[in-house]
Chains A and B, each alone.
Chain A
Amino acid sequence: MNNSTASRWTALLVPTLAVVLGLLIGAVIMALMGYDPLVGYTAVLDGVIGNSYFFGETLRAVTPLIFSGLAVAFAFRTGLFNIGVEGQYIVGQLAAAYVGVSFDLPPVLHAAMAVLAAMIAAGLYAGIAGWLKARLGVHEVITTIMLNYIALASANYLIRNFLKGPGERTEDILPTASLASTWLSDMFEGARVNWGLLIALGFSLLIYWLLWKTTTGYELRAVGLNPHASEYAGMSVPRNIVLAMVISGALAGAGGAADTLGVYGYMNISAGFSGIGFDGIAVALIGSNNPFGVILGAILFGGLSFGADNMQRVEGIPTESIKIVISIVIYFVAASAIVHWLLGKFRRRQEVQSS
């Protein structure tokens, strides 16, 4: 086995072993608390593949996580930590709802414009953090956290004063802007899985292509890996930082648009965050910051979280136990040294045996 395939296998093995360890330790904690982990995990699995409606709803839950995971992973690849996906998702929701409610356009075009508006708005919003980092050296972790709260408060204000529909939410978007899909929904007994899923998969491909097959992507990654060397090589570090944040934010915004246009059809005034942006951090990490890894990470994360509801409903085991499992998975992804160490031991033993 040559070196690059070996490292590719390790890249897959680390998250896989992390998942196994997470499930095992989670089971121990559940057992210590007096719950039967086997019963719990079975109920989780049942909540995902028990019937085709559950499976469709799982895919619905996975969709925004692909977007938010991609947004975080893209930023990580360019050397930035975007904790602001949560806020950018809100900005995307708002822009999509605005275009969906306020404009009269033919079908498909209307939906496309709404998604585009969401991506531009959220991209620019994230660009603020990029600009502040590039020009003034303000750490993006702090600014994106602050921008989350500002997005939440401003969106609530704008909905209440300019887009108010019945109840604590906007008007319904026009049917022409909807991303709901009858054939997808029918396939899964009325689950709210929608075109957003296919858009998410498309974006995963696009981001892979952008990062690894274009000059722009090469520059973005180079600046992330070593800003000084990149500058010496003639790349503009500030420009690439801002661009990276804008693209990351646009992905988050597309996720917001997919949920507003595909699942709910309106946007709520909300007291707190949906958590989709923060979960995106976990998804990106489980997926090794690789666009295809993100899809797998989102399926795992979305599946476990959605199935956990069924576990609490049927078996009375708190959904939080799944959150614990996920946190342990992230921990072992971070502490991949353990996994490498285990692998090293394993390999050494093989070598001893074969010689």
Chain B
Amino acid sequence: MIAKRQTRERLIRLIFLLTASISILVLSTIVLFLFVEGAPILGKVSLTGFLFGREWYPTSSPPDFGILPLLVASLAVTSLSALIAIPLGVMTAVYLAEIASARVREIAKPVFELLAALPSVVIGFFGMVVVAPFLQDTFDIATGLNLFNASLMLAFMSVPTICSISEDAVHSVPKDLKEASLALGATHMETILRVIVPASLSGISTAVILGMSRAIGETMVVLMVAGGAAMIPGSIFNPVRPMPASIAAEMAEAPFGSDHYHALFAIGIALFIFTMLFNLVADAIAQKHKQVGAATL
């Protein structure tokens, strides 16, 4: 009887181990594939030439494979969209969790979450057809397909994620913390700013990272609205070409196994490392501000 139960126990454990390893296996296969396909380009250009070259002319002869403009574009678009999305998302979350009445919260939260369900191509189309002409006319700039437009659209996409997860974090702050603060004579505002937000910092930073990860890897939107000029932007109204846009635009017709093909995979590696660093930093922040019980504040 006991032996039978132990076998069953072992079997269940094995099944779970198997399911867990499948996802790890798939992930490592993809990473391996990425590196195998991307590495050969380093036989053609040096690593510094690849990362810091300013010219991206993959099909001319002789070709130039410098991705600095694409790298800068990705960084610029992501940071600008973070600047817009983080305050919006976090403040909305605090409002929903702490200030709004239960009824407002019940209606508003699902609506925000529904925003996250908008397909990126729809947001891209909106940016292209509505926002771009508006920017052109309002600011009298050469083209509305630029860094600012792309950041705005990406912010749209990450606000729901940031808001929804931060709201959960703010909402789950232990009630005794809040009550203790109020009992000590702090106003509602002081309690929110000094107690509740610091206590939920770990959850908020997770939310921000998830939202930003979506922005940095997002392809369709930047392909449609960033403009696509492979140059280092001088202002937020310059067109740019972030890394995913370049891969998406060129991969379809790059001859299989050519230098161009390998270079595009190498951009994929850069993007991958970029996102990974981002996640590591986020993890470190989340760990540092981790709320253990009510005592650590």
Q: Bound pair: A and B?
A: no
- Chain A residues packing against B (C-beta within 8 Å): none
